[in-house]
Amino acid sequence: MAPSRDLHRARQAYQQGDVSATVAAHSAAAEEQHRHEHGQYLKSAVYGGLDGIVTTFAVVAGVGGAQLGAAVVLILGFANLVADGLSMAVGDYLSTKAELEYQKAERQREQWEVENYPEGEKRELVELYVEKGMPEDDAKTIAEIISRHKETWIDVMMVEELGIVASGESPVKNAVVTFFAFAIFGFVPLAAFVAVRLVPLLEFDAFTAASLLTAITLFALGAIKVRITGKNWFKSGLETLLVGGLAAAAAYAVGRLLGGLA
């Protein structure tokens, strides 16, 4: 059965407090699966990008604070892009894989219990609904109806008893998205130094240019992050800019403090 609501429009309607838009979102057929497939990797892209730009600019700020020169910035910056990018990608792959394996194992256990001890599972479902404030008679009626459909029953037990919602994410795709997001956004703080290096005629303060590019990109990523968090885009952008700025300021201070050791 095709979905009868547009989840993206429903969220927008809720944020705007627009009841008529909510009605429209729930009455129009929507391509929810298509949006879900593209949206489920947004988290990896945003957080991979944020980590990439913050950690790389921290390297740039630290080296800049120590006044070690553009060559050192590029060497350490690109080393960070490759090493940390791969580390994040591997971490995302392993964590997603572990989560999916856990979901699969718990679903197999729930299926076994439904098949071998259905009365106990029905009683658990009734207790769960009663704990939520539902009258016991209604809870028993609903549990009886749900138990007639095995796969639905297992799905409900996964959510209600264990709090597990199947994500359907791919560990490999998550890892790839994380790595490329990290590498692409992590290159932003290095772009000015690369430009100065490749085009000698360009004359500008590479560190200042890198700072401005990083600030703009951090704000943009924070604004994009509202697709996940649902917060106000301006506040989210400003918050991300401030957090990234604090990390960069700390790295710069450490570089200045220890610069004499180089």
Tens digit of each residue's pLDDT (9 = 90 or more) over 234-252: 888 899 889 888 887 888 8
Residue 146 sits in the same domain as residue 28 = no
**What is the C-alpha separation between 220 and 238, in angstroms, rounded?**
9
pTM for the full predicted model: 0.74
Q: What pLDDT does residue 165 have?
A: 81
Domain of 57, in residue numbers: 43-261
Residue 13 sits in the same domain as residue 136 = no
Q: Tell me how many helices (H) and strands (E) the chain has.
A: 13, 0
Residue 151 sits in the same domain as residue 78 = yes
As a whole number, mean pLDDT of residues 120-136 equals: 92
Closest Cα partner for 247 from 58, 121, 8? 58
Q: Quick check: 4 pLDDT over 80?
A: no
Tens digit of each residue's pLDDT (9 = 90 or more) over 158-184: 988 888 887 778 899 999 999 999 999
Residue 19 sits in the same domain as residue 105 = no
Tens digit of each residue's pLDDT (9 = 90 or more) over 26-72: 665 444 444 444 556 787 888 888 889 988 988 888 888 888 888 88
Structurally, the chain folds into a number of domains equal to 2
Residue 128 sits in the same domain as residue 213 = yes
Within 10 angstroms of residue 67's Cβ, the number of other Cβ atoms is: 13
**What is the C-alpha separation between 37 and 238, in angstroms, rounded?**
29
Tens digit of each residue's pLDDT (9 = 90 or more) over 66-92: 888 888 889 999 999 999 999 999 999
